Amino acid sequence: MTETFSLSRLSPGLSAVITQLTAQGEMRRRLQDMGFIPGTTVTCLQRSPLGDPTAYRIREAVIALREEDAGHILLKKGGSHDR
């Protein structure tokens, strides 16, 4: 079985595939609208100087998320291109 981990734990320069969103309601809808959908590859680009927020590449967009929000996105290792 593949280990899953939250987006907030993804290190800069690495990519992974979204497996699940644990957020509910408005937050879930907001994440989906930004492209955080299971099966999509996400890449961690860089963390801000104080560590929060973090910039991610999802599809062809760069999006900054707070650690709290990124914690609602579960990933599995892998993914080399945007879907």
> Is the pLDDT assigned to residue 43 strictly greater than 50?
yes
* pTM metric for this prediction: 0.88
pLDDT for position 51 = 83
Half-sphere exposure of 49 (CA within 13 A, CB side): 0
Helix (H, G, I), strand (E, B) or coil at 69: helix
Question: What pLDDT score was predicted for residue 2?
Answer: 74
pLDDT cut 90: percent of the chain above it: 87
Q: Select from 1, 14, 2, 5 the least CA-distant residue to 54.
A: 14
Ordered by where they begin, the domains of the chain are 4-77 (2.30.30.90)
The pLDDT of residue 79: 63
